Each structure stands twice: as C-alpha cells, then as structure tokens.
C-alpha cells in the first residue's frame, strides 16, 4: 500500500513521520489530517515493507488498519448536486484582524490585544476542543439505568449523523464500545436555517439523569449573572470552544453514557451534552481555573470589565493565560474584546442592560403558533426578559390560558388546536410590551437595596433598585386564590415572603429597605390586622422576616393628619354586646352552644344548650339563639362578638351572597347549616349588628374577657343531683343506692361528653358521691355511643383470631414498603415483605409497582417452594384488596384476614420485619 492508496480510500493529504515521533505534527487544519502517537504512526519505511507482502509484517498491517480507522475523511462529499465541506477551518489571521477592528482600544492597545490573541489556544474547526487534563475528571454518581431502545432516525439525517460520529471518534471525544452495559437513544434535531441548517445529534439522557445523583453546587442562572455584572467602560466577553468536551469523563463512568449508531455502540470519553450535571461541573472547573481575576462566569461565557484600557488589557491577559495554561480553547469568532458595548447572555451591556438587537429581531419574526408546542416556545422566548417588563404577568396570563385543558378535553383525550383573533391580539400586546422594555442596571454593592411592593387587584409587582441609582429588576406575580382574599397588609406580606430569599441574595450583605403601600409592618402582628385571613403558620414565617435585622420597613404611604370624624353617640343610648360560642367535646354527636348578653358591661342574660352536629353547628346555633334573644327584648342594634372566623365572615359578607344564590355554593351544593343561616338572614333584617371577631384563648383584642367568660360557660356541664342528703354517708362520700347507680353514672358520663372512667369518677368525687369502680366500668361499657366510636383497647384482635400461628407456615403476614430511597436496576421502588407469624421467617422481593400483579407474583414464587399457607394477613391497601389477590386465595383455599384500618399494631409482625429490613 502506498500514499496513493490512502488517497484513493478518501484520506487526503496524509503526512507521515518518517520514523521520528517528535517530528510528527498534530491536529487538523486546512483539510490536512495530522496524526501523532506511538500507536498510530505509519512511516514511509513501513509502506515499503508492506508493499513486499511478507507474512511477518502482520504487526504493520494492524497499525495501518488502526490508522485508517482513526483518520477522518476530509474530502468533500457529494449528495446529489449539493456539496458540503465538513471541515471549514477558521481563518485565524482574518478573524483576528476583525476582532481588532471591532475593539475600542487605541492603536497601541490593539497591538497588545494582537499579542494576547496570539498566545491563546484557538479552536480551528467546529468540534475542536481543549483538554483540562487529569486534574478535572468527572465521576457519574449513581446506578446504571436499564437500556432504552433506539428509535428510528430521520432518513435524511443518517448520512450527516454518520459523519459527525466519525469526527467525534477521531477527536477521541467518543469511542467504540464492544460490550455496552446500557444504552441511551440518539436523535437528530433540525438546526434552524439561520444557523446554517443541517442536523445536530442529541443524546436522550433522561434515564441516566433519573439515576444520577444531582450536583447540588449553586449554579447561577443567566439573570443572576447579569444582575451582578461589573459594568465599566471597557468590556470583553470570551466564549470557550466546546467547553463540555474539554473535561474528561472517568473510565468507570463512560459505560453509563453508551449510545448506538448504525449497529455499533459508542461511549463518551468527555463530558456529554444533555447530562444534567454537565453545566455545574464545567462551570466549577472554569471558576477554579480563573481564580480571583474578577471575572463573571456563566458556564462557558466569561465577562470582564474595567475603567481604563491598561487595566483591562492586563486583566484580559491574565484570563487568557489561565485558560490557555489549563488547556481550554477559545471560540475566536464569538469573542468580543475591549468594546464599550457587548452582547452577553442575550442582552446588550453598556452602562446598563437592555434587549439585544438579535433578540428584538427574533421577537419581530414571531409567527402565529400552529400548535401548543409553538406557543410554549414563544412564551419561553418572552419569559427570558420578563424582569424588564412591568406587569409582565398581566400580558402573558391570557396566553397561558390557551395551554390549559378543561374537563371535556380530559375526557375526550384529544384537544384540537384553535388560535383565534383574540389570542393573536393578546400576543401582539405582549410583543409591544416587551419592545418597550425598560433598561436595568446591575446591582451596586456600595448601596443599599430598595424594594417597593405594590398590589393591585390580583397582581403584585416588586420594583428593586439601588438606593441612589436605577432599577435593578422588576418582579411581577399573580396572587394565588388564597392570597386574593387577604387584606392589603397581608397581600404585601405574602409577596415579601415569596421574594425575601432572592432579595437577600441580591443584596449581598447590604441592608434591604422595603416600601409598602399600606401601613408600616415593623410592629405589625396578626392581632392588629383587621379581618385577618392568613393562617398562624404563615404569620409565623412573616414575623420571622419582620424581625430580620437586615430588613427596614418604610416609609409607608402618607396618610392624612386629620382625625376621622367620630359618630356622636346619642345621650342615654345603651350599648348592647352579645358574646356567642360553640363547642363539642367527647365522643357524642351533640354540640354545645351558649351566649351571654351584656348592657354597658353588665350581664343581663345568659343561656346555653345542646344541638346536633359539629362544633361549627354549635357556633351557628349560638348566633341564632343570640339574635332571637335580641329580637325578643326589642333591641335594635348590638355588637356581636364571636371567636369563630366562619361565623364572622358569613355575617359580614358571605350571607348576602348566599341569599342571592339560593343558599348554594359555586359548585351547586347547599351551604352548610342551610336552615340555620336562612333564619339568621331573616332576623338580621330586623337588627343592626356590628360583628367583631375575637381570637380564642388569647389576651389580645378588646373583648377577650367576655369571650373567655362565654367559653367557660359553654364548657361547664356539671350535673346537680337533688336529694343526695338522704343517702348514707361513708368516708369516701355518700353511697349511691343501687337503683340510682345507672342513672347517676350515665348523667355524669354524658355531661362530660362521654369521657372515660377516670374523669367520670373524678366528677363523682367532686360531688361527694361514691360508686364502686366496677359498677362505673359496667355502665360505661354498655354505653351505645361509646361502643359506636371507640374501637376498643389497642392491640386487641378485632376479628377474634390469634395473630400467632401454632404451626409453621400456617399464618403469614404481608405488607408493602416504599417507595424506597434507592431504585433497583430495573426501576424497582417497592419492597414486598412476607413473614411467617410463628417462626418469624422473612422473605422479601423488590417490585417496580405495588399492585395485585406484583403481590400474586411473589406469592406464586414463595409458595411454590414453601407451600400454601392457611391464612394470609394483610392491611386494607388497594394492592391487597383487589380481584387478582382474591382469585389466587380462592384458587388455593387461603383464608383472608384484614387488619383494622389505621391500626398498624394489629399486623405488628410484618411491621417489625419492615423496620428491620429498612435499617
């Protein structure tokens, strides 16, 4: 074989080493393939020996075959009438002159920039990459995922994908694997025409990413990088060529990245794209390489800025020197050096940040979407700049409604795509709002951060700015269905709590000043907010924020200094106040209600009683009885105080809405306690009621004393027996005659809300009555209400069968544990546990799903070796109570035993076994 034979095979311009390794060039440039290394050398002397065709030269033949496999065909390939040049080498001198012309340096500074570029490693073709060396080697932490089937590729992309795979193999980015342990599918993605068209290979690493432990290193997002930029006069942006391909993948981790192309399996030797930890790992490596040079790094984009030309050239020289020394290469075409205005991460960076011309061009060229996928792409493009658009969510909300599915669509399973003129108008409004986006400035670390919160209807917005500068960012937010019901103060607190963590990160150690549209929140507590609707849990989080030493609230919206005009009271007009309360204690089905009526602080009337239903029914009944008392006494106006937020809200607002809707909810269901509320609505027309809500069990508020008084009154249920002085006196008390024992014990028991033996005996002792404890237990045991609600002593077997069998494998207990914290090779997440109740023998099996099929499969497998048990004991889970398990038990005559609901102790044998297996 000669040089001509290699050219005929498609390997053009092959240069040989002539026996000297040190003279062997390396790389690919201008269509020439340079090969170097002790295992792929082919000299002219070797060709002469091969031409003699001696059988002793098999070693040289193998070396020639290896060389031919590693070389890349660099000649142009013809597809019909089209010609594509795969290797388009970068004309480095021309690109260098272009970058010098674009820079804003002085002539002397441009010459220094030329020297800096000359010292850098520059990518010379498309997939050319650097090498960070053995210092940065990544290990994929996690198990091996099951192989995923390779789906068919687009026929028009097969040839192009084949060339890309060969190219990556020649660059040692991938290698062929003869015995793959898994597989991830490869797919061809069409590149846009603006990027030159063609196809791009993408590996679907979904299965690998699910099994891989995520790298929790904090990777800043594009918006975070932009808000912390050092914006100065001279700016440079350096783009790293094929950054992920510059970082090595550990040999033991390469098998997890296997993919298949044209019947051959390949694995990645460098960090692949699509792997979830690639951005974090590579950015961490670049930041470690650069060190403390004052650069902002976002994955493979490096930004630096300085006020003077000399400082900037010196910083640029250090950055390029560190990158070159580490083995990284620059993508010279995308780099920007020493300019007053640069494009970084899609934004135009001058003294502030604005939309780039390229982004505005993309926004202008948006076409009406033809599917939901097209609309999602448009919204993704718009969301990237939402921080620059005031009230962004107001414009985007109608478009997001187009992506929601209604109930009819879910039933049919198909949803036809419809794009109306109204939808197109909403899209145009969003486009105009983005075109008018405001310019933002980066965060200044020498100034305090100021956040102004405003809530209008259902929309909230936060304007974040430097204290003596311009806007840093705009955050817009649509309140949730719960937050929409909050008063103004709580809405602002909810918005502050949502963005407080981001504000502290953006402040970077500086204090944060918050300006609200309502009263100052520094001394705000739940008891001081009128008609509060947030839960105590939320208020606990809000108070933690309000007490943060880095937070300063105010100034609030200015208010008028004039005192509100007070309504003059008529002389001699009494003030009536009625306190209501409801309660339900014990196991009976009755609620207790009560009210206390006072005039100018003096009690005039009190009443209580029982009503069927819940504690809420007791609260509503107390309100109704109180209003009836006011009408009976011909009182026209009064103040009603209740600790039930439900009653207070209903009397203030909801009752009028219920009347309009025929006392039905929005879903067409009747309002709870409909009959009671109808009567209250009629009585309210005759009265002027001022409703106030008082928090229960606290000493906050103006009416806490009266509320505690009515609460104690309702809770008091002591029974007074007449004629006890005739009963015999004993040292333990008066002995109750036998004929009165049942009546006395039952009366005390029901008055205490069907309490147990101890509370009942204690109440009898307080009334100086004595009944033997066995008689008390006998009466309480016969109580029908307690027998209905009390399940009995814990651990008692409800089905009357002994839990432990007397023979081996007579009674087995079964349960399911999971999903477990780890996943098996085939996706097993659950653990089926089978225990013999006599011997304690434990058998386990891993399963992907907990259902009837997996349970029957384990029973078939275990019972085929150990025999059929007489009894199978399980809980009431759907994986046990189904037709598959029932049919298996009927087939083999196995008796089913279910443990009572919510009593895991009834099947404690298998519960202890599960705990042992987990530990």
Instruction: Evaluate whether 336 touches 342 at the Cβ level (below 8 Å).
Output: yes
11 contact partners, CB below 8 Å, separation of at least 6: 33, 68, 71, 73, 74
Q: How far is CA 237 from CA 82, 222, 361, 400, in A?
A: 36, 14, 22, 35
Question: Is 885 domain-assigned?
Answer: yes
Instruction: Evaluate whether 363 touches 271 at the Cβ level (below 8 Å).
Output: no
Residue 743 domain boundaries: 724-789
Are 396 and 526 found together in one domain?
Answer: no
Beta bridge partners of 454: 461
**Placement of tokens 């275990």 in the chain:** 862
Are 461 and 499 found together in one domain?
Answer: yes
Are 45 and 172 found together in one domain?
Answer: no
Instruction: Please tell me the predicted confidence (pLDDT) of residue 250.
Output: 92
Beta bridge partners of 45: none
Instruction: Please tell me the predicted confidence (pLDDT) of residue 478.
Output: 86
Strands (E) across 60-131 are located at 77-79, 82-84
| 627/228 Cα distance (integer angstroms) | 63
Residue ending a domain, among 675, 692, 715, is 715
Beta bridge partners of 663: none
**Placement of tokens 């220094």 in the chain:** 112
Q: How far is CA 898 from CA 342, 858, 877, 902, in A?
A: 71, 19, 10, 12
Beta bridge partners of 199: 190
Question: Is 453 domain-assigned?
Answer: yes
Are 263 and 323 found together in one domain?
Answer: yes
| 273/202 Cα distance (integer angstroms) | 8
Sign of CA dihedral 439, 445, 446, 447: positive
Instruction: Evaluate whether 356 touches 381 at the Cβ level (below 8 Å).
Output: no
Other residues' Cβ atoms within 10 Å of the Cβ of residue 845:
17
How do residues 451-464 score in pLDDT, each as one tens digit? 888 888 788 888 88
DSSP annotation of 654: I
Helix axes 738-751, 773-781, angle to 10 degrees: 60
How do residues 899-913 score in pLDDT, each as one tens digit? 766 556 556 777 777
Are 774 and 878 found together in one domain?
Answer: no
| 656/726 Cα distance (integer angstroms) | 58
Are 293 and 189 found together in one domain?
Answer: yes
Instruction: Please tell me the predicted confidence (pLDDT) of residue 919.
Output: 64
Beta bridge partners of 175: 267
Question: Is 565 domain-assigned?
Answer: no
> Strand 174-176 relative to strand 264-268: parallel, antiparallel, unpaired?
antiparallel
Residue ending a domain, among 312, 336, 351, is 351
Question: Is 82 domain-assigned?
Answer: no
* pTM, to two decimals: 0.53
| 473/389 Cα distance (integer angstroms) | 9
Are 172 and 218 found together in one domain?
Answer: yes
CATH number at residue 200: 3.30.70.270
Are 735 and 701 found together in one domain?
Answer: no
| 380/386 Cα distance (integer angstroms) | 10
Instruction: Please tell me the predicted confidence (pLDDT) of residue 86.
Output: 45
Are 780 and 816 found together in one domain?
Answer: no
Domain count, the chain: 7
Question: Is 542 domain-assigned?
Answer: yes
Question: Is 795 domain-assigned?
Answer: no
Q: What are phi and psi of 315, to 5 degrees?
A: -65, -40
Instruction: Please tell me the predicted confidence (pLDDT) of residue 561.
Output: 40
Rounded to an integer, what is the distance from CA 413 to the centroid of its chain? 27
CATH number at residue 844: 3.30.420.10
Q: What are phi and psi of 708, to 5 degrees?
A: -65, -35
Are 133 and 248 found together in one domain?
Answer: yes
Question: Is 62 domain-assigned?
Answer: yes
Beta bridge partners of 903: none
Instruction: Evaluate whether 514 touches 551 at the Cβ level (below 8 Å).
Output: yes
Which positions of the chain have pLDDT values less than 50? Answer: 1-44, 56, 70-86, 407, 410, 520, 522-523, 556-572, 791, 793-802
Instruction: Evaluate whether 142 touches 377 at the Cβ level (below 8 Å).
Output: no
Instruction: Evaluate whether 632 touches 614 at the Cβ level (below 8 Å).
Output: no
Residue ending a domain, among 694, 715, 736, is 715
Residues in the chain, how many?
Answer: 919
DSSP annotation of 16: -
42 contact partners, CB below 8 Å, separation of at least 6: 16, 17, 35, 63, 64, 67
Question: Is 799 domain-assigned?
Answer: no
Are 702 and 737 found together in one domain?
Answer: no
Are 426 and 459 found together in one domain?
Answer: no
Rounded to an integer, what is the distance from CA 507 to the centroid of its chain? 24
């Amino acid at each position: 074989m000669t040089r001509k034979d290699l050219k005929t095979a498609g390997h053009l311009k092959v240069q040989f080493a002539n026996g000297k390794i040190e003279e062997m060039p390396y790389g690919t440039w201008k269509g020439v393939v340079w090969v170097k290394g002790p295992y792929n050398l082919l000299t002219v002397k070797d060709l002469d020996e091969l031409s003699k065709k001696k059988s002793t030269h098999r070693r040289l033949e193998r070396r020639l075959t290896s060389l031919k496999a590693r070389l890349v065909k660099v000649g142009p390939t013809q597809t019909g009438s089209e010609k594509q040049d795969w290797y388009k080498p970068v004309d480095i001198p021309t690109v260098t002159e272009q970058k010098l012309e674009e820079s804003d340096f002085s002539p002397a500074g441009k010459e220094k920039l030329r020297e800096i570029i000359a010292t850098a490693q520059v990518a010379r073709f498309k997939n050319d990459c650097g090498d960070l060396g053995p210092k940065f080697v990544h290990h994929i932490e996690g198990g091996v995922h099951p192989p995923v089937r390779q789906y068919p590729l687009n026929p028009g992309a097969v040839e192009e994908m084949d060339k890309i795979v060969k190219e990556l193999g020649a660059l040692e980015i991938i290698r062929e694997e003869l015995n793959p342990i898994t597989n991830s599918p490869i797919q061809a993605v069409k590149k846009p025409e603006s990027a030159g068209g063609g196809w791009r290979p993408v590996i679907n690493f979904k299965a690998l990413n699910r099994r891989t432990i995520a790298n929790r290193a904090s990777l800043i997002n594009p918006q975070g990088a932009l808000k912390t930029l050092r914006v100065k006069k001279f700016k440079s942006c350096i783009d790293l060529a094929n950054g992920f391909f510059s970082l090595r993948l550990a040999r033991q981790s390469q098998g997890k990245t296997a993919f298949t192309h044209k019947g051959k399996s390949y694995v990645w030797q460098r960090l692949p794209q699509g792997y979830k930890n690639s951005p974090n790992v590579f950015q961490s490596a670049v930041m470690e390489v650069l060190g403390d040079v004052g650069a902002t790094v976002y994955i493979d984009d490096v930004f630096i800025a300085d006020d003077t030309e000399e400082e900037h050239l010196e910083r640029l020289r250090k950055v390029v020197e560190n990158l070159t020394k580490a083995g990284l290469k620059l993508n010279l075409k995308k780099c920007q050096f020493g300019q007053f205005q640069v494009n970084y991460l899609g934004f135009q960076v001058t003294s502030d940040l604005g939309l780039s011309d390229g982004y505005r061009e993309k926004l202008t060229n948006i076409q009406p979407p033809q599917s939901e996928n097209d609309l999602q792409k448009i919204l993704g493009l718009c969301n990237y700049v939402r921080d620059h658009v005031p009230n962004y969510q107001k414009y985007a909300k109608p478009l997001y409604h187009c992506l929601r599915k209604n109930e009819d669509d879910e039933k049919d399973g198909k949803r036809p795509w419809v794009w109306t003129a109204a939808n197109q108008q909403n899209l145009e409004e969003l486009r105009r709002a983005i075109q008018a986006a405001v310019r933002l400035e980066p965060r200044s670390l020498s100034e305090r951060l100021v956040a102004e919160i405003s809530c209008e209807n259902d929309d909230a917005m936060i304007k974040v700015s430097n204290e003596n500068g311009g806007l840093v960012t705009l955050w817009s937010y649509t309140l949730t269905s719960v937050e929409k019901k909050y008063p103004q103060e709580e809405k602002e607190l909810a918005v502050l709590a949502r963005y407080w963590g981001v504000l502290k990160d953006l402040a970077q150690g500086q204090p944060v000043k918050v300006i609200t549209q309502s009263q100052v929140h520094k001394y705000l507590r739940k008891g001081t907010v009128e008609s509060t609707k947030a839960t105590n849990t939320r208020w606990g989080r809000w108070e933690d924020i309000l007490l943060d030493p880095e937070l300063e609230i105010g100034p609030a919206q200015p208010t008028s200094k004039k005192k509100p005009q007070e309504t003059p009271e008529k002389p001699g007009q009494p003030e009536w106040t009625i306190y209501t309360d409801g309660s339900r204690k014990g196991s009976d089905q009755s609620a207790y209600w009560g009210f206390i009526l006072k005039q100018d602080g003096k009690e005039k009337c009190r009443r209580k009683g029982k009503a069927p239903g819940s504690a809420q029914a007791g609260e509503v009944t107390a309100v109704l009885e109180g209003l009836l008392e006011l009408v009976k006494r011909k009182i026209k106006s009064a103040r009603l105080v209740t600790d039930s937020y439900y009653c207070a809200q209903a009397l203030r607002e909801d009752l009028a809405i219920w009347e309009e809707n025929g006392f039905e909810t929005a879903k067409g269901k009747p309002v709870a306690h409909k009959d009671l509320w109808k009567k209250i609505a009629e009585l309210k027309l005759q009265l002027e009621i001022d409703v106030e809500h008082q928090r229960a069990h606290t000493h906050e508020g103006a009416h806490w004393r009266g509320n505690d008084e009515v609460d104690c009154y309702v809770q008091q249920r002591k029974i007074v027996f007449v004629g006890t002085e005739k009963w015999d006196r004993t040292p333990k008390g008066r002995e109750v005659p036998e004929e009165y024992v049942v009546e006395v014990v039952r009366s005390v028991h029901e008055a205490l809300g069907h309490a147990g033996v101890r509370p009942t005996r204690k109440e009898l002792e307080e009334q100086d009555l004595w009944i033997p404890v066995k008689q008390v237990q006998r009466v309480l045991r016969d109580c029908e209400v307690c027998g209905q609600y009390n399940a009995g002593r814990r651990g008692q077997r409800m089905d009357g069968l002994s839990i432990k069998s007397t023979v081996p494998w007579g009674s087995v207990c079964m349960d399911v544990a999971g999903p477990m914290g780890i996943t098996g090779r085939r996706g097993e997440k659950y653990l089926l546990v089978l225990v013999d109740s006599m011997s304690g023998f434990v058998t386990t099996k891993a399963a992907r799903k907990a259902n009837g099929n997996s349970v029957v499969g384990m029973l078939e497998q275990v019972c085929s070796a150990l025999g059929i048990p007489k009894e199978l004991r399980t809980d009431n889970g759907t994986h046990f109570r189904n037709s598959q398990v029932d049919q298996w038990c009927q087939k083999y005559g196995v008796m089913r035993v279910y443990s009572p609901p919510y009593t895991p102790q009834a099947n404690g044998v298998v519960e202890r076994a599960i705990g042992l297996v987990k530990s």
